Amino acid sequence: MADSVVCRDKRGRFSKNIQETSEPECAESIEIDHNYGVGHLCIAGATGCAVCCPGIEKLLGSSKINTSTSWHSGRRLVEWGTLLDHLKFCTRCFNGPLILSHQTIKGEMKCGLGGYLYVQCTSCQELNRIPYGSTHKENPSSKGMPSFCVNTKLGAAMIDALGGPQRVNNVLSTLNLPPISHKNLKVMERRAGEMIEGFANLSMDQRCREAFEAEKSNAAEDENGTENMPDTNTDSHTDMTDTNSNTRNESVPAVNFSGMTVCADHGWQKRGFDSLTGHTFLMSKREYGNKVIKTIVKHRTCGTCKWWKRNRPGRKPKPHRCVWNHRGSARLMESQAGMQAVKELLEQGTPVKTIEGDGDNTLIARLKSELNLTVTKKFDKNHTIKNIVSRLYDLQKNNKNLKISSLVIRHLTKSIKYVFAKNQGQPDDMKTNLEALIPHQFGDHNLCQPRFCGYKRQPGVKYLHRSLPYKAPLSDPVLREKLQNLFEPVISKAASYADLGSSQACEHANRAASLRAPKHLHYGESESLDF
């Protein structure tokens, strides 16, 4: 044992008995200068392969993601706050911020005016999906990708200003923004339109109830005579908690109030009576808000139903919002839409008693015969004057031999407006002035009243017709006979003209609708016109 040598074995343990070999082992430590076999040389191009860019196969295999170098062409609408918030760190290794460059962006998925960038992390090579716009979900618990807010705003812009898909893509192409398919644009329009339509219905119901209660309260004050009545029995020693004073100040409901007053008017999206669509506005009076309280839109066709009938004959159309709700002529739309609006107001507890509109009495007759409702009609002042003036121009057009010029027609128009304006609420004076209107123009003042005739006020002074030609009265007896015959039906309705209404608020609403749905464009085959 004394001759034994203590040393270590190959594992580093001490050992006494180690067999000596003729050639001792030596560990060779070779350092490789150029290790070409260990490295990876990617030949896939800018996008990379599965080794240097894990997950790139999904991007290359998707038809919605653009991985070519053309993704950086054109313009994009980018919200910097949203983009920078998602570039703070990688979703896998949490290192950050992510580098946004041509080398790290591996693809783009466009979603209308919004979209996603697929940015590679330089630390773990993970692909991060970065939205460059804010998103929202109608139902947060539902599955699927969220919607971009800018796309919903674009749908609202289509309804308010831009119009249909073709007009939207014209704007986008002018701005060098990526175009959007018509199908996707209709989805955006429906998403925004349903929200706008729901809010509009709630607003109309609220304004209708407010106008109804305001008119009801006003009618009660008029009946009871309690509006602004001064208390002449005030005593300095009167107790402020007197029960009699509290009872006196309570409002008493109106006994004779059975409904509200509305102005109504119907408009078509095409001139004439062959329009495929039409709408009716019911609005409250100016003193009660002057707001739209009911809207009815009529359609004579549906684009989806027509497509299925043309391309899939005999098969039931897929479930959709069918807008086809009218069968008949375009002229019939006015009375049907008005009757439907009055019926819906009656069902929600705000009945209509008086309608102010044009001279068409078909609606009043249908309400009485079909719904057993007695509604009072007030003629619109502007429609009434326009109808009379149009007859004067027809008289001038059809009778070339009559000496009636445009100057005479303008003078008669001014006189008619003056008579209607000064005799409201006075049916007897209205009839008297209308009877004296034509004789006055021919120098016959027997029926005139001093209130309106300068000849009766100053008999000794020569009277001049300042607005007639040569400031002299008319003298053609044939013209006088024609004008007398023309004004006979007007004189017979003098009592109706003594209480005229106004539907100019509805005309203004029709103007606003025509700006968004012009008469030369057809939006009536879908819900676009409703929105």
CA distance 283 to 265: 9
| pLDDT mean over 178-196 | 91
Q: How confident is the model at residue 269 (pLDDT cuts 50, 70, 90)?
A: confident
**Three-state secondary structure string covering 439-469:** HHHCCCCCCCCCCCCHHHHCCCCCCCCCCCH
The answer to whether residue 250 scores a pLDDT higher than 80 is: no
CA distance 304 to 186: 13
| Encoded tokens for 95 | 């290192």
| Encoded tokens for 388 | 């009379």
The answer to whether residue 362 scores a pLDDT higher than 90 is: no
159: DSSP letter? I
User: What is the per-residue pLDDT for 248?
Assistant: 42
Buried b (16+ CB within 10 A) or exposed e, 441-473: bbeebeebeeebbebbeeeeeebebeebeeeeb
Residue 47: CB atoms within 10 Å: 19
Residue reference for tokens 């119009």: 163
CA distance 324 to 318: 15
CA-wise closest residue to 497 among 426, 445, 448: 426
The better pLDDT of the pair 448, 255 is held by 448
User: What is the per-residue pLDDT for 20?
Assistant: 55
CA-wise closest residue to 483 among 441, 420, 431: 441
Q: How confident is the model at residue 460 (pLDDT cuts 50, 70, 90)?
A: confident
Angle between helices 477-492 and 381-398 (to 10 degrees): 150
User: What is the per-residue pLDDT for 5?
Assistant: 54
Cα 244 to the center of its chain, rounded Å? 52
CA distance 122 to 90: 9
The better pLDDT of the pair 30, 504 is held by 504
| pLDDT mean over 278-306 | 91
User: What is the per-residue pLDDT for 251?
Assistant: 53
Task: Output the DSSP codes for 341-383.
Answer: HHHHHHHTT--EEEEEE-S--HHHHHHHHHS----EEEEBHHH
Instruction: Determine phi and psi for 374, rounding to 5 degrees.
Output: -100, 105
Average pLDDT, the chain: 84
| pLDDT mean over 471-476 | 88
CA distance 352 to 346: 7
Q: Which of 63-67, 262-266, 471-475, 503-507 has the lowest mean pLDDT?
A: 63-67
* Residues linked to residue 105 through DSSP beta bridges, in sequence order: 119
Q: Which of 3-12, 62-71, 153-162, 491-500 has the lowest mean pLDDT?
A: 3-12
Burial class (CB in 10 A: 0-12, 13-18, 19+), 146: middle
Cβ atoms of residues 370 and 277 within 8 Å: no
User: What is the per-residue pLDDT for 149?
Assistant: 93
Query: Taking the chain, what is the end-to-end CA distance rounded to the nearest angstrom?
Result: 107
Instruction: Determine phi and psi for 201, rounding to 5 degrees.
Output: -65, -40
Cβ atoms of residues 118 and 92 within 8 Å: no
| Encoded tokens for 285 | 């009076």
